[in-house]
Amino acid sequence: MSKFEILQTTFARIFSALPDHILRAPGRVNLIGEHTDYNDGFVLPIALDRAVLLAARKRADRVVRMIALDFDGARSEFSLDATIERDDVNGWSNYVRGVAWALQQRGLTLPGLDLAIHGDVPLGAGLSSSAALEVCAVTTFAEIGRLEIGRLEIARVCQQAENEFVGVKSGIMDQFISALAQKGHALLIDCRDLSYQNVPLPRGATIVVCDTAKRRGLVDSAYNTRRAECEQAVRLLAAKIGKPIRALRDVSVQEFARLAQDLPPTIARRARHVITENARVLDAVAAARRNDLAAFGARMDASHVSLRDDYQVSCAELNAMVEIARAQPGCLGARLTGAGFGGCTVNLVEDGAVQAFVVNVAQAYQAQTGLVPQVYACQAMAGAGVVT
């Protein structure tokens, strides 16, 4: 059976009725622009052809009942008429609870729902399965509750849920691309004003994702520490530059080069990554528009070095995967993607070399690490919507 049929059949068995709707929201892979989003910078993600699916049926009362097929049929429920609290046993449910909380914070009236959740976005791999679930949940509440809410506001709701309810101080990129993506394009997002531009993907190359099988928990990682270090860098640089600075986005590469030696070494490394990464994103966009595959790939390579050495969010498995990928014929660029500390790499591979790349990288990585990776070519898909 297809994943749609599995979801529909399971829903009918659990809730004794067919769903009213099945909705989807894609995961994402960020081509370049890592840890820049919460620094008011630039990012360039695509929405993946892997998604979270949500089967839903409206209830007569104000209860939300959920079952997660990907967590062995675990169940959780809450009332929209009571204070919505976290479920520490079923952590996956907090993404649905969080968006319901954030929507009600806006004064919106939500319907009670029966929900079944199923997806093929790898969990804990840095491909934003959590953001996909958040966006899918908001889209579901909006569709069934006939809520007037635009796609940009959907992204804002999901970010608020993640920041204030789940407790991860993420930027808005993951939710943004899941809600607003256009098929065949990357999305250049200015994370300060949330303006965006669709960027056609370079011709002649394929995006290949390599899942290292090294998992990481974002809430428990050093993510929040890195964010605090960036905020400290802003305060120190503002005092030295003598002008208002809201974020590292406001510091040029030239200004930083002049002042880096005056910062504590660790803070300087964190700031250097963010400031130079913003420049790399804009360079990569220019390269994509002129279809300069070599220049695009070179920016990806430089991004990984910066994430590894300056931001220090890589790990042995990610570094091994990148080094193996770069040794393959036709690999134009390779870097870790996502928050780091495990998860996936993203690679730009010449079209004619993709099949051999997928096989050879998987074999070499398993031989070196003992871990069994997932390596797959990707397509850039559209954002969230109703499937049926």
pLDDT exceeds 90 at position 153? yes
In which band, very low, low, confident or very high, does the pLDDT at 124 lie, cut at 50, 70 and 90? low
Alpha carbons 286 and 283: distance in angstroms, whole number: 5
Neighbours of 184 (CB within 10 A): 13
User: Are 211 and 184 within one domain?
Assistant: no
Domain count, the chain: 2
| pLDDT exceeds 90 at position 120 | no
Looking at the chain, how many residues does it have? 388
Residues 263 and 212 in one domain: yes
Q: Which two tokens stand for residue 223?
A: 């993510």
* Mean pLDDT along residues 145-156: 94
pLDDT tens by residue, 3-59: 778 898 999 999 999 999 999 999 999 999 999 988 999 999 999 988 999 999 999
Q: How far is CA 1 from CA 12, 15, 116, 127, in A?
A: 15, 20, 16, 25
Sign of CA dihedral 305, 280, 27, 140: positive
Share of residues in the chain with pLDDT > 90 (%): 81
Reported as a single tens digit per residue, the pLDDT across 201-234 is: 999 999 999 999 998 655 455 878 999 999 999 9
Q: Does residue 253 sit in the same domain as residue 186?
A: no
301: number of Cβ within 10 Å: 18
Same domain? 239 vs 172: no
**Same domain for 195 and 224:** no
Q: Tell the residue number behind the tokens 């004619």, with chain if given.
A: 352
What is the share, in percent, of the chain residues with pLDDT greater than 70?
A: 97
* Residue whose structure tokens are 């990129």: 173
Active site residue 40: no
What integer is the mean pLDDT of 259-278?
97
Q: In this structure, are 149 and 228 located in the same domain?
A: no
Q: Which domain holds residue 325?
A: 205-378
Average pLDDT rounded to a whole number, residues 68-73: 91
pLDDT for 219 equals 41
Task: Give SS3 for 148.
Answer: coil
Kindly state the DSSP code that residue 17 receives in the 8-state scheme.
S
146 with 225, same domain? no
Strands in 33-138 per DSSP E: 42-58, 63-68, 74-79, 113-119
Q: Does one domain contain both 171 and 244?
A: no
For the ranges 234-243, 245-254, 286-295, 329-338, the lowest mean pLDDT is seen at: 234-243
Catalytic residue among 174, 211, 250, 310: 174
Residues ≥6 apart with Cβ < 8 Å to 111: 58, 59, 62, 141, 144, 145
Q: What's the CATH code of the domain at 197? A: 3.30.230.10
> Are 196 and 214 found together in one domain?
no
Within a 10 A sphere around the Cβ of 18, how many other Cβ atoms?
A: 11
- Residue range 321-366, pLDDT digits in tens: 999 999 999 999 999 998 888 889 999 999 999 999 999 999 999 9
CA atoms within 13 A on the CB side of 218: 24
- Greater confidence (123 vs 61) lies with 61
CATH classification of the domain holding 252: 3.30.70.890
> What gap in Å lies between CA 37 and CA 43, rounded to an integer?
7
Rounded Cα distance between 19 and 58, Å, is: 8
Beta carbons of 309 and 343 less than 8 angstroms apart = no
Based on the domain organization, do 158 and 226 belong to the same domain? Answer: no
Provide the whole-model pTM: 0.88
Q: Are residues 186 and 225 in the same domain?
A: no
- Residue 1 reports pLDDT greater than 90: no
Residues 32/335, Cβ–Cβ less than 8 Å: yes
What crossing angle do the helices spanning 293-309 and 316-326 adopt, rounded to 10°? 160
Choose among 299, 273, 274: nearest CA to 284.
Answer: 299
CB 139 within 8 Å of CB 23: yes
The SS3 call for residue 163 is helix
Q: Which band of pLDDT confidence, cut at 50, 70 and 90, is reported for residue 279?
A: very high
Residue 128 has pLDDT above 50, yes or no: yes
By DSSP bridging, strand 205-211 and strand 344-350 are antiparallel
Instruction: Determine the pLDDT at residue 121.
Output: 75
CA distance 323 to 307: 14
Provide, for the chain, the percentages of residues in helix, strand and coil under a 3-state DSSP scheme, each rounded to the nearest 5. 45, 20, 30
Residues 216, 196: one domain? no
pLDDT, averaged across the chain: 93
Q: How confident is the model at residue 243 (pLDDT cuts 50, 70, 90)?
A: confident
